[in-house]
Amino acid sequence: MTFCSRYLEDVETRLNRPNRNAGLNDHNLAETYLFQSYGEPIGKVEIAELDDISWIQAHRYVLFHHDLVEPLRNEYKQILRSRARSRRLQHREINKLFTESFHEWLSQTVWSGKDVNDEVKWLSQGLNRIIKRYSAFIINGYRFHTKYRQRMRRTQNCGVVVNSSITSYASARDSNPVEGNVEYYGLLTDIIELDYYGRWKVVLFRCDWADVNTSRGIKEDQFGFTMLNFSRLIHTGQQLMDEPYVFSSQVKQVFYSKDPTDEGWYVVLRNTPRDLFEMGNGSRDDIVERSETLPFPEQNLDENIPIYHFSAESGGTRRVRGRTLLRDLYDLDPVERVKVSRNTHGQPVGSEARLLAGYLGILARNANMLPINYESWHHMPDSNKNQALANIKERFALEVSDDYIKKALGKRWRDNKSTLKKQYFKKDISLEEKLRNVLPGMLRYQWEDAVRFWNSKKGEDRERVGTSSRQKQKFTHTAGSRSFASVAEAEEKLKEKKAEYEAIASSDSSVNLENIDNRIITEVLGPERYGRVRFQGSGVTPTQYFGSGSQQYMPSGSQAQAEVQRLRDQIAQMQANTVEQIAEVQRKYEELQQQLRAEAAEREAAAAAREAEARAMVAEQSKKYDDLQLQLQQMMHMFQQSQKPPS
């Protein structure tokens, strides 16, 4: 049968069936994923935002493992060693400083003009805070589920293991680190896809890592099996120095079987991918195992990470709008781009224009791509502006000019600096405190440069000039969330629609032109919300604007009669429907009553039958009991007679 099945076409057999966990196989798309982390996500995609600590940890993990960044890592380590000679820092402290500050140093060094590879320059700007989150992922023949996804399943797919090279110390005063390989075991809790602004993508796994450094988290039983205890975790991600992430391509799958004799401990069972067979030593060269060096720093570091709370004046928590996530944009296929049209003046219009404006705001808040420590937008290097423009064109097909995009981006960059200055610099604290109070996600050197400029005489003079100019401004330059270009486009549509109605009315006398303006506005812009007056802003009611006796929105007499008749017909139809519904409910009620009576009669008959059967059974048992009693009496009488001596 096996031999014959090889010659069968269009028939799925055990030998030619597709691999269950084969994953995707798009080479063009896979090239955009770093570290061979490309795989097949399963289930619904969630668009989320990374918090400040997770952003640093994920970005730092990518920088620590990219081959092109290695020369810069070595350079910064050498700088720290040279500084450590005067401060007498130990090797452990140097590693701690390197882990905490390398991403900031890299961004500052690259953007100060250092000649580096384009890929390194792109990575140094940092990743987008908006990420994609999955609950299941297929890669390297394994199917992984998060703990939350498998909570209601009987199967287990959240166990992972990764082989890592670490640096360990014998004690806190040890200055001679020892390197070695350690297997880290964990439970998969999160799957995220990082986006380096359309250029590169990376898929990371976040896990609950068991403590494999002490006997309280790992041990070996008498049969040689590895056992784990997840009651004590390491690298939880709560501290800045933690490393909770690994690449999706690094992990292998394991299963955890609960030990029935040792509470809290689990036996590790290793897994082999489907359709992978061991062919002996001769085929080992065909199997390539990826081995990465994961710098898991030591634990128990006391980091003072500032936490900001936003409260209302009344003392409660104030609900805020939150950051713009642009879920519709990130839900698009990577090869698709949003087309943005323009008007005759070269301005973006349509609903896509609002999407573009939101994305410009996201880029303007990216301090790695557009640093805030430049005095003005004119001082921003062209390389930064061009890189931001290239990033925008990765997601949008623009009909507007590059100069317009750069100008709009500069406006949002200035708005972002103004917001930061108002919220954090204008506090009644000393300059030293302002310098130390670095914002979450902000590079320290950028914040310090910006604070020193705002505090200088030149910065104060520029603020004074800006405040004076603002006070002289009589008209705003914006129309809320819609640009004036979008408003002008709506006005053009209104004119076109009015001309269309007038052309129809000139040829058809039955067309009523009364109240045509309101009808056109409603058709183009949609119906007006109740209690609002269009184009007048919030707080203006129809009564305030038109007066209580105004007929601005009142229809004509014939229209009013027709409207009244329509409402009457609608009410009559509703009444008829109500009567039918009541009759239907009454009919179903009577059917239910009859059904209940029949069921009650059946239950009563069954109970009576059971009762009669029970009485008959009792009578029969009583008769049997009397017969037994009679037999017993006869036997006793015969026994007594046999005991009497013969006369």
- Structure-token match 């046999």, residue found: 642
Do 132 and 46 meet the contact criterion of CB atoms below 8 Å apart?
A: yes
Question: Is residue 280's pLDDT more than 90?
Answer: no
- What is the DSSP code (8-state) at residue 371? -
Question: Is residue 290's pLDDT more than 50?
Answer: no
Q: DSSP for 154-187?
A: SS---EEEEEEEEEE-SSTT--S-EEEEEEEEEE
Question: Of 227, 184, 226, nearest to 208 (Cα)?
Answer: 184
Position 285 scores a pLDDT of: 36
- Structure-token match 């052309």, residue found: 503
Give percent of the chain with pLDDT exceeding 70: 69
What is the Cα–Cα distance from 272 to 270, expressed in whole angstroms?
7
What is the Cα–Cα distance from 330 to 45, expressed in whole angstroms?
10
What single letter denotes the amino acid at residue 194? L
Question: For 60-89, b where at least 16 C-beta lie within 10 A, e where not — what string?
Answer: bbbbbbbeebeebbeebeeebeeeeeeeeb
What are the distances in angstroms from CA 333 to CA 29, 328, 394, 457? 11, 11, 12, 50
Dump pLDDT digits (tens) for 484-501.
666 667 667 767 776 776
Position 168 scores a pLDDT of: 58
Do 191 and 137 meet the contact criterion of CB atoms below 8 Å apart?
A: yes
> Between these two residues, 512 and 65, which has the higher pLDDT value?
65
Dump pLDDT digits (tens) for 448-471.
888 888 888 888 888 888 888 777
- Structure-token match 């039955």, residue found: 510
Question: Is residue 518's pLDDT more than 70?
Answer: no
What is the Cα–Cα distance from 397 to 353, expressed in whole angstroms?
11
What is the Cα–Cα distance from 35 to 290, expressed in whole angstroms?
10
Q: Could you give phi then psi for residue 201, rounded to 5 degrees?
A: -130, 150
Give percent of the chain with pLDDT exceeding 90: 15
CA quadruple 182, 187, 189, 191: dihedral, nearest 10: 60
Dump pLDDT digits (tens) for 100-137.
889 888 888 887 778 888 888 888 888 888 889 999 99
Lowest mean pLDDT of 91-95, 304-308, 410-414, name the range: 304-308
Q: E strands within 321-385?
A: 338-342, 348-349
Question: For 207-220, b where at least 16 C-beta lie within 10 A, e where not — what string?
Answer: bbbbbbbeeebbee
- Structure-token match 């128990």, residue found: 300
Burial (CB count <10 Å: 0-12, 13-18, 19+), residue 505: middle
Strand partners, 397: 339
What is the Cα–Cα distance from 380 to 394, expressed in whole angstroms?
21
Do 267 and 210 meet the contact criterion of CB atoms below 8 Å apart?
A: no
CB atoms within 10 A of CB 518: 14
Position 93 scores a pLDDT of: 81
Dump pLDDT digits (tens) for 409-426.
999 999 888 888 888 887
What is the Cα–Cα distance from 615 to 420, expressed in whole angstroms?
91
What is the Cα–Cα distance from 305 to 52, expressed in whole angstroms?
10
Do 256 and 159 meet the contact criterion of CB atoms below 8 Å apart?
A: yes
